[in-house]
Amino acid sequence: MKNYKKYAPYPLVAISGRSWPDKTITRAPIWCSVDLRDGNQALPVPMSVDEKVAMFQLLVSIGFKEIEVGFPSASATEYAFTRRLIDGNLIPDDVTIQVLTQAREHLIRRTFDAISGAKNAIVHLYNSTSTLQRDVVFRKNREEIKAIAIEGTGLVRRLRDESGNTGIRYEYSPESFTGTELDYALDVCHAVMESWGASVDDKIILNLPSTVEMSQPNIYADRIEWFCQHIKNRGAVLISVHAHNDRGTAVATAELALMAGADRVEGALFGNGERCGNMDIVTMALNLFTQGVDPELNFSDLPRIREVYQRCTRMDIHSRHPYSGELVYTAFSGSHQDAISKGMKAQPSSPGGLWAVPYLPIDPQDVGCTYEAIVRINSQSGKGGVAYVLEKDYGVQIPKWMQPDFAEAVQGVADTTGNELSPDQIHEIFHSEYIKLKEPFAIKKCQIRWDDKDLERNDEEATAITAIVQSKERELSFEAQGNGPLDAFVKGFVKESGLDFSIDEFSEHAIGRSAKALAIAYIKISCADGRISFGAGIDSNISLASIKATVSALNRLQ
């Protein structure tokens, strides 16, 4: 790519006493959702009035107190929706609707018609102040562009006063703030503040949008801090930011802007908006949440929010979308799976109850998700993840010493199919690999008895067994005694078959907690010729389960 010289680096900000790098965010900003305006106008198929109502009610349920509902002077649908909210008494008393308008008289008057009767409303007026748009689009100089902002603001003030509605507030945006000289943006905003008559009791919202994201987030933060340092009567102003995502750093831009002095943040659910979208409020709010800061928005049921959003907007949410994607609480990597499994088990004893699970910066349950899909299995998965799935979904607790053997079997299937394996498939592989084996050995009869009348006796002859095992060549029939059923079976089988092996590892547990729970046993055997093998057996009788596990291991000898 040799054309990079056609792009100029964004200018740095000459700022003294920069303080934002040492700040932390300790409280939520004032949030304003622009889903119904900026997000809606960016949709291939804009929402209908009914869909916008459903989205509005979703935003209210999340906890937004300021919601930009549209551009009512721009289309009949936008106007009708605004009237639907007001005439239908759909706006809670503690929610303020916001409406956008250009700085043109007939559009401003139409906007006031649209919000007539609203208890609380913000009229959001904008005009572009950037060097490029002044020169290329409007062909006006600085004073002419500033005059547009002053005249528009004055008309909004007069119409507000004429309406007698003190619940109407004012927001002004020098659109394309990121392309506007700082001194000029400040000059325009001072003129707008004077035209409005901004005061501590009647604050103006100055929205400084990253209409096009043109620089690193730290430079935008410098611009916000410079603006906050130089604005007159700071107590009469709420500094708002509206970040777009052209460089993919809108969330960082908004977060650093808060550190630099901004009071308010505009954005959209899941980052919807023009071009690369707006700042993603879901991500930013949950970023605060994971730092122990109350976001003052409720995302505890993300699946419901996703469903309404996708239904109303017809937009998809990427499977890797922060916090919200269907795969973000999923681990395919074996080392990740093992760490998550161990972290989940250790979480109840975490100091102070703080969340501390590797690879999961947030508890999925806090956003309405479950642990069922945390570990999913494919050819990249490891032994810990495979064992976790079986234990969580089926109560099969494969011991550590056997996990590599089973993981190898699972990986073999995953490599062959090239697909992700479901928990049911993994469970079936376990049964096929260990439980269902009938060759070369199959138990035809197994009777256990205690020959000694002294139940306290624990020597090697306390237990007797009579068994018949069918092999490919012949029927192996034997009687033997040992210090338990498994010991007796091994002694009898070795003597009758001539196959010399011993038990190296043994583990067992119940599957379930009822009196009718099945027992499962796991075995590792070693042969005199150096071969080793693993097996598993299930039965209502734990002794028979261990014997079945032994035969399973014998059947798996290579």
- Best CA proximity match to 291, nearest among 5, 24, 88, 16: 24
d(CA 152, CA 101): 10
d(CA 179, CA 120): 32
**pLDDT > 90 in the chain, percent:** 82
Q: Identify any residues that bridge with 465 across adjacent strands, giving them in sequence order.
A: 448, 480
Distances (CA, A) of 377 to 134, 319, 362, 386: 56, 17, 22, 7
Complete domains list, the chain, with CATH: 20-313 (3.20.20.70), 334-423 (no CATH), 442-555 (3.30.160.270)
Out of 40-44, 219-223, 327-331, 485-489, pick the least confident: 327-331
Which tokens in the block code for residue 375?
């570990």
pTM value is: 0.78
pLDDT at position 373:
44
The answer to whether 148 and 103 have CB atoms below 8 angstroms apart is yes
pLDDT at position 453:
58
Which tokens in the block code for residue 396?
């099969």
- Best CA proximity match to 102, nearest among 31, 32, 153: 153
What would the pLDDT profile of 323-370 be if each residue is shown by its tens digit?
A: 999 889 888 777 787 888 889 889 999 898 999 999 999 999 999 987
Which tokens in the block code for residue 220?
């935008």
Cα 294 → chain centroid: 17
pLDDT above 80: residue 402:
yes
Which tokens in the block code for residue 21?
């790098």
pLDDT at position 472:
86
Q: Look at residue 412 and give its three-state secondary structure.
A: helix
Q: What is the mean pLDDT of residues 412-439?
A: 90
What kind and span of H or E run contains 77? helix 76-87
Winning range, highest mean pLDDT, from 132-146, 283-297, 478-492:
283-297
What would the pLDDT profile of 324-337 be if each residue is shown by its tens digit?
A: 998 898 887 777 87
Out of 65-79, 150-164, 387-401, 454-468, pick the least confident: 454-468
d(CA 80, CA 100): 15
What would the pLDDT profile of 447-464 be if each residue is shown by its tens digit?
A: 998 765 555 655 556 789
pLDDT above 90: residue 509:
yes
Distances (CA, A) of 202 to 20, 78, 354: 27, 28, 42
The answer to whether 119 and 167 have CB atoms below 8 angstroms apart is yes
Which residue is associated with the tokens 């700085």?
A: 103
Q: Identify any residues that bridge with 537 across adjacent strands, giving them in sequence order.
A: 521
Arithmetic mean of pLDDT over the chain:
93
pLDDT above 90: residue 372:
no
pLDDT above 90: residue 96:
yes
Which of 40-57 are b and which e, b meaning 16 or more Cβ less than 10 Å from the residue's Cβ? bbbeeebbebebbbbbbe
Q: Identify any residues that bridge with 70 across adjacent strands, giving them in sequence order.
A: 99
pLDDT at position 371:
56
Which tokens in the block code for residue 78?
């936008």
Cα 33 → chain centroid: 19
pLDDT at position 452:
59
Q: Look at residue 362 and give its three-state secondary structure.
A: coil
Which tokens in the block code for residue 391?
């234990």
Between 422 and 207, the more confident residue is 207
Q: What is the mean pLDDT of residues 401-419?
A: 89
| Amino acid in the structure at residue 195 | S
d(CA 327, CA 431): 28
Q: What is the mean pLDDT of residues 459-482?
A: 87
What would the pLDDT profile of 512-539 be if each residue is shown by its tens digit?
A: 777 678 999 999 999 999 999 999 999 9
| Amino acid in the structure at residue 51 | E
pLDDT at position 380:
64
Q: What is the mean pLDDT of residues 179-198?
A: 97
Cα 202 → chain centroid: 39
Out of 161-165, 360-364, 386-390, 488-492, pick the least confident: 386-390
Q: What is the mean pLDDT of residues 100-117?
A: 97
- Best CA proximity match to 12, nearest among 220, 247, 227, 257: 220
The crossing angle, in degrees rounded to 10, of helices 334-346 and 383-394 is 50
